[in-house]
A = this chain, B = another copy of it.
């Protein structure tokens, strides 16, 4: 298994958990859990593969990916009621999945020798689209649009960190670790400590 495949597996599993948690909040049946888990789990990577026109989607090349998302769905179906707050669990798992999926996107784009804007976009798109589809389908405000939180920003800075690291080393383990750790750290800091960027104000403050 290559490094990128490992990242894909991990992000599929964790995003699968978040999809299943969203299904639990919508009180779906087990197949609804499977559906939302798979959609969330493979959404970002599928977009990446379609945009880059890869010969085969990562989960068609290796259907074990789908089974991994299904295991996540079943796990949540039988254990989610032990959680104190499923919304909080969803948010933290989503942060973790973001930190795995961004390097998965960056790694594939770097492997295909794409230019740096494309590497950044593949990192952000792979990281964010699974969760975005989950939220759009569930008719909830996407996490990515929550005011005053780092989300797309965390993904973008993480992907940029990978580009920076790639200037100094060719070891993809180091590059992708830097990417993932940066992303998770920023996102976690935002959830836990309220880190954020200044948001747009419709009028500048009066003097």
Contact A30 B197 (CB under 8 A): yes
Q: Name the residue in A38, A63, A204 with the highest tally of chain B Cβ atoms < 10 Å from its Cβ.
A: A63
- Please, how many residues of chain A have a CB less than 8 angstroms from a CB on the other chain? 61
Contact B35 A46 (CB under 8 A): no
Task: Compute how far the CA of A197 lies from the CA of B29 in the bound complex, rounded to whole angstroms.
Answer: 6
Q: Which residues of B contact A57 (CB under 8 A)?
A: 51, 53
Q: Which residues of B contact A145 (CB under 8 A)?
A: 26, 28, 32, 137-139
Q: Does A173 contact B (CB under 8 A)?
A: no
Interface of A is mostly: helix
A131-163, CB < 8 A from B: 132, 136-139, 141-142, 144-145, 147-148, 150, 152-153, 156
Q: Name the residue in A32, A63, A202 with the highest tally of chain B Cβ atoms < 10 Å from its Cβ.
A: A32
Contact A29 B137 (CB under 8 A): no
Q: Contacting chain B: which of A3-11, A98-106, A115-123, A176-184? A: A115-123
Q: Does A164 contact B (CB under 8 A)?
A: no
Contact B152 A32 (CB under 8 A): yes
